[in-house]
Each structure stands twice: as C-alpha cells, then as structure tokens.
Amino acid sequence: MHRFFVPSAELRQVRFQLPEAEARHAAQVLRVRAGDKVQALDGAGRTYDCTVDAVERRQVWLKVAHENLVPAPKVAVEVYPAVAKGKAMEIIIQKLKQCGREWLPEVTSPRPFKQCLPSAGEASCLNLVAALRPGAVLTGERISAYFNTHGALPRTIRLWVGPEGDFSSGEYQDLAAHDVLPITLGTHVLRCETALLALLAVCQHEIAVRS
C-alpha cells in the first residue's frame, strides 16, 4: 500500500488534499487512481487508511476511512553524525528520513561537538561511537552486554559517527569521559554515510530480537 506524509493540520479533515510534491509523485509516478486504497501518516504516530477520491495532474484528494494510533518506539535511537563533505550529508539526512516508520525522525541544526556530549551516568541510555581504534567491540556485543546486565534494553541508544579522518584523540577522550563506548562494524573501513546506515541497521536488528 502506498503511503504519503501529510501535515497533521490537514489530517483533521475527512477529505483532504495531498501536499503538492506528494500529489505529483502519487499521480505521475505511482499513478494512483480514484478508488485506490492508500495510507497517510503525520510522522507523529498516527496513520490514516484512506481512499483516493479524485486525481488531477498536480492534485490528489483522499478520504479518511480509519485512523490508527501507533505507540512510540520503546527504544529511541539518536544519531550524531559529524557534518560530512559535499553530498554525503545530504545522503545521510535523506536516508534517515526514508525509514518507513510511523514516527519520523527529528532533524536538528548542526551543533558544536561538545554540545552533543551526553551527561555521564545518564540512566537507561547506551552511548556508542564508531571507532577506528583498538578496544572497539562489535555493536551487537555492546547491546547484548547492556541487556544482560540490566535485564532490559535501554530507553535510548545514541550513535556517534566521526568525520572523514575520524575523531581526534581529544574528542575520543571527551566521548570516553561521558560514557560513550567504542564500537566497530568489522574489519572494513566504511565511509561516514555508509557507517551510520550500517549502524542503524545493526541496532534495529538487535532491538528487534530482544523486544
């Protein structure tokens, strides 16, 4: 079933129009037709089963048949990528938003490194950094160790990925002082945008098998 993002203000109406970009994609690429069943979502846990009511070149109207409320994920995953060069940062943001989830990620403006450091000893959080250094262990092992120690998954998993050339020694010291643990994805060195997506995939798997 095709799914479309619609601002929550629009979804307060039984019959509503898709935003222009979504409507163009629906009409010209997906070629939806009147009577088709689709789904709209507001990115904050609500999805709406809809029927396509009318289709024009740049306008698509939907009618709501049923509203669904999806609880927030039990484990929040936050990512802190260093600002990448060129199109790499655009790729990171694009792929993070293409998650297919009912709760869409919040993207914030870039912040200085030290403003992104967590509070040391924060409860129910697991802080991890992809590290090209000795002592890093597999991501799954870190999550498994937390689960075995606490008998549950953390409420929040935070992931740091450094820039091209990796974090500096001083930055690694700052991360360690704030209980951020080094992890690895194996023997291959990945590009920063690839490493972040790989880490998210591993985390999703580890969360799923323990939920």
Residue-wise pLDDT for 133-151, tens only, equals 888 999 999 999 999 999 9
Distances in Å between the Cα of 24 and the Cα atoms of 29, 32, 39, 59, 98 are: 7, 10, 16, 7, 18
Res. 183: pLDDT tops 90: yes
User: What pLDDT shows up at residue 52?
Assistant: 96
Contact 196, 142 (CB under 8 A): no
Contact 33, 39 (CB under 8 A): no
Residue-wise pLDDT for 8-36, tens only, equals 777 778 899 999 989 999 999 999 999 99
Contact 53, 78 (CB under 8 A): no
User: What pLDDT shows up at residue 98?
Assistant: 62
Going along the chain from its start, the domains and CATH numbers come out as 3-69 (2.40.240.20), 76-210 (3.40.1280.10)
Res. 94: pLDDT tops 90: no
Res. 100: pLDDT tops 70: no
Res. 170: pLDDT tops 90: yes
User: What pLDDT shows up at residue 185?
Assistant: 85
User: What pLDDT shows up at residue 173?
Assistant: 93
pLDDT, average across residues 61-78: 89
Res. 155: pLDDT tops 70: yes
DSSP 144-205: HHHHHHHSS--SEEEEEE--TT---HHHHHHHHHTTEEEEE--SSPPPHHHHHHHHHHHHHH
User: What pLDDT shows up at residue 99?
Assistant: 60
pTM here is 0.75
The strands making up 156-161's β-sheet, listed across from edge to edge, are 76-81, 156-161, 125-130, 180-184, 137-138
User: What pLDDT shows up at residue 145?
Assistant: 95
pLDDT, average across residues 186-207: 85
Q: Which residues pair with 4 in a beta bridge?
A: 40
Q: What type of residue is 166? A: D
Res. 49: pLDDT tops 80: yes
- Nearest CA to 175 out of 162, 163, 156 is that of 162
What's the pLDDT band for 46 if we cut at 50, 70, 90? confident
Contact 112, 80 (CB under 8 A): no
The distance of Cα 39 from the centroid of its chain, to the nearest Å, equals: 20
pLDDT, average across residues 162-181: 90
The distance of Cα 82 from the centroid of its chain, to the nearest Å, equals: 16
User: What pLDDT shows up at residue 54?
Assistant: 94
- Nearest CA to 41 out of 57, 21, 22 is that of 22
Compute the distance between CA of residue 179 and CA of residue 160 in angstroms, rounded to an integer: 12
Residue-wise pLDDT for 103-128, tens only, equals 777 777 888 889 989 887 788 999 99
